[in-house]
Structure 1
Amino acid sequence: MIESLLEKPSENYCSDLSDPVQFIAGLAHEAMLLEVLTTPKPGLVDQANSGSHKDMNLSTFIDSAGAIQPWLNHFVSAGMKTAHAPAETVLASIRPQGIACEQAMFSATNGVNTHKGMIFSMAIVLAAAGRQLTLEGKEGLNSEKLCGQVAAMTTGLVERELSSVLKPRTAGERLFQQFGLTGIRGEVESGFATVRQHALPVLTSLLKNGPQNIALLQTLLHLMAHNNDTNIVSRGGMLALKYTQNRARSLLKEGGVLTDNGLTSLHAFDRDMIARNLSPGGSADLLALTWLMHRLETVSIPLFEA
């Protein structure tokens, strides 16, 4: 199954299409696998190399995704169970499961952080999907409404967890105080504005006729061009972020990977990112979420009827 994932969007990844919880969780796991299999990704672990990471490789990511998989349905179910509760109470209700999921990841990777950021954002998206499915199931999982649920669930998150911190203890807190970067907290509170504005339209358009790997790579370039990726800043500062964004924008002006020399240029970008020890891990997480939102929009409504 893994070898064929990049060929085209899976239509039957989850065998029990009558179970919406398992189906959505199956798509989320597929999104995680697709992200790491997409190749070549500048500075990131993929099928060609380990990017700028010396403590992880393709197998590490696949093992990590496997450890996370059993927890994904819990986030969907939690969203369903709390569908009629105030949106701002949902995040606190899924955090214990998120912590347990992180522990499962660390156990599978011998302490290597492969997906901590992904778990945070994926848990929120899956809970929002369960919530929207319960409240408006017949309308389908529209990305705008889904992201609206995400924004409602995380209202005030930046203020509570970044602005009010006096002594920063984490990289996210430090980067907020130094540069005003809100990271994934700001992204979820905005209802994934970067995904909605820059990534989802590109992926949706390209998947209509083109190969999935190319569509994902072009989408990643758009994310790298616009996302204020705190993973990049943590490794190389704001100058590294500007370099990454400008390089991605330059490639997109030339057509990105949609040109004859596009993949060659992307391989060169990969080598340069590795030489600078830069890894756009935040953009990689958003790529997986972009694909998941796209697939949730294309799911047939009868799958969710009782």
Structure 2
Amino acid sequence: MARDHAAHAALRHPPSSCGQVHASPLAHRLGRLAVSALHAELACAPKPGLVTPFDSGSHTDMDASTFLRSLFALRGYFVAIAQAGIDNAPFARLRDLGIAAEAAMLRATGGINTHRGAIFSLGLLTAQAARLRAAHARAPAADAVCQGVQLWREALLAAPLDPRSNGQRMRAQHKVSGVREQAAMGYPLLHQVALPALRTRLATGATREAALAHTLMQLVAQVDDLNLLHRGGAKGLAYAKAQAQRFLADGGTAQPNWRDQLAAIGNGFVQRRLSPGGSADLLACAWFVHCQEHA
């Protein structure tokens, strides 16, 4: 796909939260931060198999402009779910907000699923970050936000699943856990994998883009990504993990030519139609919980 100059220009200025939600300044601040985290994930490039401002990865039905339309549609959701966290609302309220947000996303994108996973995970983390900050009058640690999602463990595990969804079919077919189990366990992949990788790269002076790309590959190397399973089966997942592990073993984004290496890996992903969308969702979540410590 040719470089989308309009989309790239828009990516330089992330959308703010809409002003239609009656919520506290804290809810608006954290809602904007959640959207900015999704924006940062989209802007990061190169990302093997995933949509960036410059290409559509392995996707033929979406590009950066599709993601931007979705982000604009979701601005109010993240503010509303932050306010629900501040209000210590029951899980049913969070779920209702998520269902409405998914409908808004699909309307904005013409039925294309750009952010379903993020609506779930980033929504829960935004609610918990807001809840903890309101309760303790200070920004919570990223790990505390992740583990705090266990507050809703029973409700998460009891919530009905759609057996027709791609994710649920992959869970059943390959006997792997999904994001619901991650949430119920307090997102161990975030505080044990993504956050350490992100912080280590940032501490060395890496740019945001390099730190995010490195963290993404750490996740691809370790996550049983349901999107990869759906698109490539067990062989596709194993291939993606092996490529990510090799990239990391060679130094990851500490290498001078890391962009060229990721572009080459991306070519292999596109040839196989692989897209690590679950890992991308976790990347945005990691960036959010990291940034909210100082917001």
Question: Same fold per TM (> 0.5)?
Answer: yes
Alpha-carbon distance in 2 for matches of 1:91, 1:246: 38
* Match in the other structure for 1:142: 141
Preserved contact between residue 73 and residue 105 of structure 2 (Cα < 8 Å): yes
CA RMSD of the aligned region, Å?
2.2
Q: Residue 174 in 1 paired to residue 180 in 2?
A: no
Q: Percent identity?
A: 35
144 and 72 in structure 1: CA distance in 2 versus 1, 3 angstrom threshold: same
Preserved contact between residue 49 and residue 57 of structure 1 (Cα < 8 Å): yes
Preserved contact between residue 147 and residue 187 of structure 2 (Cα < 8 Å): no
- Counterparts of 1:183-262 in structure 2, within 5 Å, are 183-208=178-203, 209-262=205-258
* Match in the other structure for 1:100: 100
Alpha-carbon distance in 2 for matches of 1:28, 1:219: 18
156 and 238 in structure 1: CA distance in 2 versus 1, 3 angstrom threshold: farther
For 1:246, give the aligned amino acid. Answer: A
Aligned with 1:182: secondary structure?
coil
Alpha-carbon distance in 2 for matches of 1:160, 1:28: 24
Note the residue ranges of structure 2 that are not aligned, 5 or more in a row. Answer: 1-8
- Note the alpha carbon deviations across 1:244-264, whole angstroms, 9 max, x for none: 111101110001121022211
Moved >4 Å (runs of 4+): 1-5, 158-162
Preserved contact between residue 222 and residue 252 of structure 1 (Cα < 8 Å): yes
* 1:284 aligned residue (268, 280, 283): 280
- Note the alpha carbon deviations across 1:146-202, whole angstroms, 9 max, x for none: 12221221336346546xx9xx33223222222221211121112111111111112
Alpha-carbon distance in 1 for matches of 2:167, 2:142: 27
TM-score by length of 1: 0.85
For 1:194, give the aligned amino acid. Answer: L
* Match in the other structure for 2:5: none
Preserved contact between residue 183 and residue 230 of structure 1 (Cα < 8 Å): yes
User: Alpha-carbon deviation of 1:26?
Assistant: 0.8
* 1:33 aligned residue (11, 36, 39): 39
* Match in the other structure for 1:157: 156
Alpha-carbon distance in 2 for matches of 1:102, 1:50: 22
Preserved contact between residue 58 and residue 270 of structure 2 (Cα < 8 Å): yes
Aligned with 1:191: secondary structure?
coil
Aligned with 1:147: secondary structure?
helix
User: Alpha-carbon deviation of 1:136?
Assistant: 2.0
For 2:91, give the aligned amino acid. Answer: L
* 1:72 aligned residue (55, 67, 78): 78
Aligned with 1:124: secondary structure?
helix
* Match in the other structure for 1:275: 271
Q: Residue 298 in 1 paired to residue 294 in 2?
A: yes
